[in-house]
Amino acid sequence: MDVSTIKKIIEGSDNIVFFGGAGVSTESNIPDFRSAAGLYSSRYKSSFSPEEILSHDFFINHTLEFYDFYKNKMIYKDAKPNKAHLALAKLEASGKLKAVITQNIDGLHQMAGSKKVLELHGSIHRNYCMKCRSFYDLDHVLNSEGIPVCDKCRGIIKPDVVLYQESLDSSVLYEAINYIIDSDVLIVGGTSLTVYPAAGLVDYYRGNKLILINRTPTTFDNSANYVHYGSIGEFLGQVVELS
């Protein structure tokens, strides 16, 4: 799949949707989960695996240990948007891209300028008191000693991220499904398409311009109309012609 082919498809459409995963942010030096250098391939300083630590039960029963891992391994405050984020924001500003659907929790799409971002797994930038639901930003969590607590009621603050054993926000999921159903072009990038229910979103696409961009093959490659293996930032940067 060459750049000129995708350029023509994008030029001819004003109803594009993007669906992306961890591979979109690895080019901003945020590690993914399942690659050889990913988060799940290494042990933290405890006897628990990252999957165990990032579960609802662990958060409830071992909150201090959860936050020790979360602050050290899940937060990359200095990360900046890369070419993929910037290209998508430019496509949206031109009126062609209708929505970004992301599995990432880092907020880099918004930092790049994207307005319509559907965050399937939540965001590190939103945090709520489990008792009174007061909102807290990321700085409050990072600056807290140990377990972050509410200034108003002293309740425990929980990040608005979807942990294992928790369900996705149904309203966000249904909105994502509707955008995909209505889309003319669906670009899927930086995801192995192995995590459900998010991976199942691709099945809702009804068009004939499904574009997959990933460094490695996925189980959906045979269903795609166009496939590119390589850097999503470099590819989208060339397609959109970032200045």
Q: Determine what percent of the chain falls in helix, strand and coil, rounding each to the nearest 5.
A: 40, 20, 40
CA–CA gap between residue 34 and residue 14 (Å, rounded): 34
221-to-132, 202, 211, 214 alpha-carbon distances in Å? 46, 11, 9, 10
- Active-site residue list: 121
Token pair of 27, please? 């080019």
For the purposes of burial, counting CB atoms within 10 Å of the CB of 124, is it exposed (0-12), middle (13-18) or buried (19 or more)?
buried
Classify residue 102 by its DSSP letter. E
Cis link prior to 31 (omega < 30° from 0)?
no
